Chains A and B, each alone.
Chain A
Amino acid sequence: MLSVFTKLADWLTYSVFGLLPDSKPGEAVHFFIEDTTKIFFLLVVMIYIISLIRASLNVERIRDYLAGNNRIFGYIMGSTFGAITPFCSCSSIPVFLGFTSAGIPVGITMSFLLTSPLINEVAVLLLLSLVGWKITIIYVFIGMAVGITGGIFLDLIRAEQLLQPFALKAYQTAQVSNSEPDTRPGLSIIERHKFAKIELLDILDRVWKWVFIGVALGAALHGFVPETWFEENLGSGQWWSVPLAVLVGIPLYSNATGVIPVMESLIVKGLPLGTTLAFCMSTVAASFPEFILLKQVMTWKLLAIIFVLLLTSFTITGWLVNIIHML
């Protein structure tokens, strides 16, 4: 079904723009047209469908659910909810405080917040269509593993002591069941459609420029970096290339939507999978704007711990994937 976008790109690139199929600009332009049209088509269809299904799931419900459950299960559920809810950086602070003041341990809240930017329906969809289901599963698995272990670690070191005083106080004085159970009636189809329409416009508004930036970068890599450059220089998964990829990813700020087309190109060009994943996750999750926001509820010390925690886990997973991949 998706081959229609390849044909569209063929026609535009070679017939309308008159570029040669084997030329560098030809390859780059073809990649750009094929990926942007395909991605936008998939985004519109899938966000709408998923939003229809997700309409009745709101953060209040998630909070009540997480507050009522036991710990070990809590980390897994925190991370799962993080994966299935869309992420908007402007809501991360209210969500953090809402969870904390409901008495949910900081680690479980962080499982939610760490997983949320890494995995969402848009990311999974792009991965599936651009790099295939195997890498999608690996990506989702690593994203959730980082969220869950990160959360457990933060509770082990009693991270709540490192919150801003007002947040710590809210946590300590929390009553477990202070919120009324959600008794709103189920949603009708029309309400679901309304919600899905708003979600669709909202998410598109947030990600469209990232799609263009990501695909343009991917296209540039695709057309202009020599076929064998990565393979010759980094292809054997040299150990230092993984931490280097993570470090390079820090100042680059993107969301998952923008980074996945780049990921596609890197993999096609022969950069080892672990190195690629480490780079992409670092770009998405370890971003300074995000961290500056969290400063409102955390001390610098806790922020630094979380930052190092993320970089370490991406490096370790990058190494592991490279080792497994080369066996």
Chain B
Amino acid sequence: MKEIKVLGSGCTKCVKTAELIQLVANDCGVSVNVIKETSPETIMNYGVMSTPAVVVDNQLMHSGSIPDRKKIEEWLK
């Protein structure tokens, strides 16, 4: 099971990002564990300055916007 973290201070875009990832994962039949990470310290440690950002299996994949569907599908492969 993939562990996917959505980094962000709880703004609407971060919530939407998390929902979208869950949705795409359901559509692709991949089981994921989506965690919303709001701690400023953790966000800093990933070196992220623009949120929402996405971390897949501890690797930073994306930051600064709601990712598009294609991108998410690639992460789930």
Contacts and interface: CB of A to CB of B under 8 A. Distances in A.
Q: Are both chains from one complex? A: yes
A58 interface: yes
A94 B41 contact: no
Interface of B: 8-11, 13-14, 40-41, 43-44, 47-51, 64-65
B65 A94 contact: no
Contacts of A198: 65
B9 A293 contact: yes
A127 to B, nearest CB: 27
A93 B9 contact: yes
B44 A94 contact: yes
Contacts of A175: none
B48 A94 contact: yes
Given A98-B47, A98-B48, A90 B40 contact: no
B3 to A, nearest CB: 21
B51 A91 contact: yes
Contacts of A293: 9
A46 to B, nearest CB: 21
Contacts of B49: 59-60, 63, 91, 94-95, 97-99
B11 A97 contact: no
A170 interface: yes
8 contacts: A58-B64, A60-B49, A93-B9, A95-B49, A95-B50, A98-B44, A99-B49, A297-B40
A99 B48 CA distance: 10
Contact of A90 (B9, B41, B44, B65): B9
Contacts of B10: 90
A101 to B, nearest CB: 6
A78 to B, nearest CB: 15
A219 to B, nearest CB: 29
Nearest to A95: B49
Contact of B50 (A94, A166, A297): A94
Given A90-B11, A198-B65, A293-B9, A97 B50 contact: no
